[in-house]
Amino acid sequence: MEMGKLRLMFLITFAGIMCPSILANLGEFDEVWRERAEKATKATLAAYNPNPMSVTNSFNSQVNNDEEKFDSNSTRRNLRNEHMVGKCMATNPIDRCWRCRKNWARNRKRLTKCVLGFGHQTTGGRKGRYYAVTDNSDDDVLNPKPGTLRHAVIQEKPLWIIFAHDMVIRLSKELIMTSNKTIDGRGSIVHVAFGAGITIQFVENVIIHGIKIHHISVTDGGMIRDSTDHFGFRTISDGDGISVFGSTNIWLDHLSMSNCADGLIDVIQGSTAVTISNCHFTHHNDAILLGASGSFSLDTLMQVTLSFNHFGQGLIQRMPRCRLGFFHVVNNDYTHWQMYAIGGSQHPTIISQGNRFIAQESVHTKEITKREYAMEEEWKHWVWKSEGDLMMNGAYFVESGDQNMKTDSFSKLQLIKSKPGTHVTRLTRYAGALRCREDDEC
């Protein structure tokens, strides 16, 4: 394993030197950003699991240890994340770890015990103090006002960021985060909307939970503070809801996302150890991009879990679209797509387990999968597996590659053990940002 990592280090170093896209939105790749990039590359190598199937199997084990009875399949959904009534129910292993406890607000950091999949080591701001956002303004990106979200995320020490009340935050420029942060929207209704999105670049250990991100636009660049002791020039932002760039140990959970100028979520440039779970995605063209360039070899280390998400109304494609890495797509609900659901290029490995796919009526949208920039002679060797998926209304998944590839090398935490696709309606019932109030079950 160590020799393999040494070879990977050489490959990564060469890629970092040769690939100009590492500059991202940076107007100037100064010494501070260079040091961050070098540190991020080392973090990627440390977080990478050379035996990713162990993570998949771990996830699978957690789901199947659930003893609750699951609803029978139906094409109808009953999303209850907006107006929950009756007894609180936690319907998947991530939620069962923390939800339906009246004291959740006094023990917020319990959340860090609940993450599964490739991002299972993410702890966010668990070791830091709480920081309450009291001000929804974003008027000064060079000297952020205390009490604002921007002021919170640039602090050097770990922080667990919460919100004092309901608010809509319109970011005037992209929000650049530092390492070891949790943005926890529980207890308030928080929108990041009608402005710039969130950038997680060359950092590690970030959790974003329980907020709504929508109507994100392309915004001008300029001088932006990215830490307490550094600011620099940024070029125009792309309009992604969340951009994860060269970062590791990232958990995105219970987000509601729609209508962004570019992607809802991009995970690119060697980011790895990422879990995207319990999210509700709607009304968008290019939903999730995992790997942006087939020439950036560091993306071969990308390992991402997508679990318990609902891909809903108004989506067209990229749920996700993958390059080069290893992707576990487990127990998600695909109720709408207009072109394809899961796609990729540059030989990604995609393990699809226990998802529900409901095709639309058009005969041209029945296929779930799409390979790009490769002839069948090439893509037939890519490992794309479907296990326990539920295909409805004529949906079909085109498999390829070695269907006997073993996943025994992954730990139970890394690979979530799937339930059959018939259970997905229940597993994803509370996808999206929840309406949680303190001193009540969430």
Positions marked active-site? 318
Q: Which residues does 42 contact at the CB level (< 8 Å), separation at least 6? A: none
Closest alpha carbon to 440 in 68, 80, 87, 81: 87
Token pair listed for 174: 């992209």
- Which H or E run includes 95? helix 93-96
**Cβ count within 10 A of residue 319:** 26
- Which H or E run includes 105? none
Place of tokens 């392309």: 218
CA-to-CA separations, 33 to 25, 181, 206, 227, 234, in angstroms, rounded: 12, 19, 18, 11, 12
Whether the CB-CB separation of 330 and 416 falls below 8 Å is answered with yes
Identity at 60, one-letter amino acid code: N
Closest alpha carbon to 276 in 204, 218, 329: 329
Distance CA 234, CA 238 (A): 11
Distance CA 428, CA 32 (A): 41
CA-to-CA separations, 317 to 263, 282, 295, 322, 372, in angstroms, rounded: 11, 11, 22, 12, 13
Whether the CB-CB separation of 149 and 175 falls below 8 Å is answered with yes
